[in-house]
């Protein structure tokens, strides 16, 4: 059972029929799924959804597009916890929580989007999916497509961390290193979709990954007792998560399921690749592609985002802002949170801690506000400093050497 009414072009509002294979809209923009929310409100209540004996985000199935239960591809997705930062936030009393998405299958929140995209691909009878990726999306596609018995082709920038490449290959995808950035990979996937029969599951170039990411917003509302945080800091690459959560909040508000205001949405990028921050500051509707993109935070090294205008809309409509932080402060925060709060953040998410701290110092965020930072992947997927202290068991141990 689902409540999809149609799909809508995010730029022109043009209506597209549900139940057909869709990529971008006829005008070439991302498509958004629309629901009959009145009918949905008569069919289910928020209490019925959260008390259902269904694990993880599939409990939100009535707010998702997968019609038949047998098309759901599931790897045991969990409801990810909100973990309060205690020591790393310093003296000021604060209410800063990390939503730890690293606990999802394949170690990142890309599982949410790809679980939905692959389930819809099964519903629509597709067999061969292809994706450009900085690593995490490729791993999630490979795992879910493999489980669904579909082929996956994955193109990564050549400098993608080895652990990501191996994970993708281990799940049986046809994985290739490309001597370019993610947008170069995306161009090849687009050509393959036109000439080799691939279905392109690039960020926002099909309508369903965003519906999967939307579940972060639904889950957050439930976890916070149906009253949303004051501010959300989101590490922004293609922006699916930020746009998806903003869409979730609109739907929840229309359903009358949340009390109070909506959060200020903050897009966090790295100073080496900050097209959205630059466009926000310039007051532009679209972002100009970033040249020579570089940052340790691979997941947000995205020089061009097709949904740039949707990201910028959500930030502005929510009264939020966009902020870039440098690699040095990213790595500093990763160390601090790992050592003082026991959470191993991915660099992208350490960026949100750095941005929050700067926003607190400059008064953009108050110390009494409820803040949620997104940790989108397990820190275990990223290179860490080597250990080179050694003990020789044939010698007496010199205990003065220990710290
Ligand atoms: C993909 C990714 C992001 C960026 O997410 P978008 O929704 O595409 O902007 C951030 N962090 C990590 C770890 C990622 O894998």
Lowest mean pLDDT among 148-157, 249-258, 292-301, 343-352: 292-301
For ligand 1, atom 3: residue with the closest CA: 299
At 174 the three-state DSSP class reads strand
pLDDT, average across residues 178-205: 96
What is the distance in A from the centroid of ligand 1 to the CA of 386?
26
Ligand 1 atom with the shortest distance to the CA of 241: 7
Residues 113 and 212 sit within 8 Å (Cβ to Cβ): yes
Query: CA torsion 255→258→259→262, rounded to 10°?
Result: -100
- Pairing mode, if any, of strands 128-132 and 95-100? unpaired
Q: What percent of the chain has pLDDT over 90?
A: 95
Task: Kindly tell me if the per-residue pLDDT of 1 is higher than 80.
Answer: no
Q: Residue 252: in which H helix or E strand, if any?
A: helix 240-255
For ligand 1, atom 12: residue with the closest CA: 299
So what's the pLDDT on residue 93?
66
What is the distance in A from the centroid of ligand 1 to the CA of 1?
30
Task: Kindly tell me if the per-residue pLDDT of 97 is higher than 80.
Answer: yes
For ligand 1, atom 14: residue with the closest CA: 299
Q: Which of 348, 351, 374 has most ligand 1 atoms within 8 Å of its beta carbon, as the pocket-test mutant? A: 348
Residues 235 and 98 sit within 8 Å (Cβ to Cβ): no
Residue 124 is classified by DSSP as T
Binned at pLDDT 50, 70 and 90, residue 14 comes out as very high
For ligand 1, atom 6: residue with the closest CA: 239
What is the pTM assigned to this prediction? Answer: 0.96
What is the distance in A from the centroid of ligand 1 to the CA of 160?
14
So what's the pLDDT on residue 90?
86
Task: Kindly tell me if the per-residue pLDDT of 92 is higher than 80.
Answer: no
What phi, psi does 266 have (nearest 5°)?
-120, 120
pLDDT, average across residues 272-290: 97
Task: Kindly tell me if the per-residue pLDDT of 373 is higher than 90.
Answer: yes
Beta-strand ranges (E) seen in 146-190 are 151-157, 174-178
Residues 264 and 296 sit within 8 Å (Cβ to Cβ): no
pLDDT, average across residues 259-265: 95
What is the distance in A from the centroid of ligand 1 to the CA of 358?
21
Ligand 1 atom with the shortest distance to the CA of 244: 7
- Ligand 1 — pocket residues by CB below 6 A? 108, 110, 136, 203, 235-241, 299-300, 346, 348, 376-377
Q: Which of 266, 277, 307, 377 has most ligand 1 atoms within 8 Å of its beta carbon, as the pocket-test mutant? A: 377
Q: Residue 96: in which H helix or E strand, if any?
A: strand 95-100
pLDDT, average across residues 354-383: 95
Rounded to the nearest integer, the mean pLDDT of the chain is 96
């Amino acid at each position: 059972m689902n409540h999809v009414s149609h799909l809508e072009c995010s730029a022109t509002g043009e209506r597209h029929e549900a139940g057909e294979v869709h990529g971008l809209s006829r005008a070439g923009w991302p498509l958004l799924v629309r629901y009959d929310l009145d009918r949905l409100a008569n069919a289910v209540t928020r209490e019925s959804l959260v008390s259902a004996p269904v694990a993880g985000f599939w409990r939100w199935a009535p707010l998702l597009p997968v019609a038949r239960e047998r098309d759901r591809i599931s790897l045991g997705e969990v409801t990810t916890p909100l973990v309060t930062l205690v020591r790393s936030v310093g003296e000021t009393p604060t209410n800063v929580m990390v939503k730890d998405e690293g606990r999802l299958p394949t170690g990142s929140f890309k599982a949410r989007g790809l679980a939905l995209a692959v389930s819809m691909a099964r519903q629509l009878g597709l067999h061969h999916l292809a994706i450009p990726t900085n690593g995490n999306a490729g791993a999630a596609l490979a795992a879910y497509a493999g489980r669904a018995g579909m082929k996956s082709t994955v193109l990564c920038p050549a400098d993608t961390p080895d652990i990501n490449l191996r994970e993708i290959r281990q799940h049986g995808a046809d994985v290739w290193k490309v001597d370019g950035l993610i947008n170069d990979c995306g161009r090849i996937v687009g050509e393959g979709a036109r000439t080799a029969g691939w279905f392109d599951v690039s960020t926002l170039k099909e309508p369903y990954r965003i519906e999967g990411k939307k579940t972060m917003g639904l889950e957050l509302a439930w976890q916070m007792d149906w009253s949303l945080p004051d501010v959300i800091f989101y590490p922004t690459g293609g922006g699916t998560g930020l746009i998806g959560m903003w869409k979730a909040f609109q739907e929840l508000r229309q359903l009358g399921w949340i009390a109070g205001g909506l959060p200020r949405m903050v897009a966090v990028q790295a100073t080496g690749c900050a097209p959205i921050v630059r466009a926000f500051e310039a007051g532009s509707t679209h972002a100009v592609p970033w040249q020579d993109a570089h940052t340790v935070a691979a997941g947000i090294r995205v020089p061009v985002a097709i949904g740039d205008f949707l990201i910028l809309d959500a930030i502005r409509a929510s009264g939020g802002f966009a902020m870039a932080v440098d690699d040095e402060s990213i790595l500093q925060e990763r160390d601090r949170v790992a050592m003082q709060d026991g959470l191993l953040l991915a660099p992208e998410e350490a960026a949100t801690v750095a941005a929050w701290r700067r926003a607190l110092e400059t008064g953009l965020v108050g110390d009494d506000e409820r803040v949620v930072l997104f940790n989108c992947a397990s820190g275990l997927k990223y290179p860490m400093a080597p250990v080179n202290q050694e003990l020789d068991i044939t010698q007496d141990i010199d205990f003065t050497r220990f710290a």
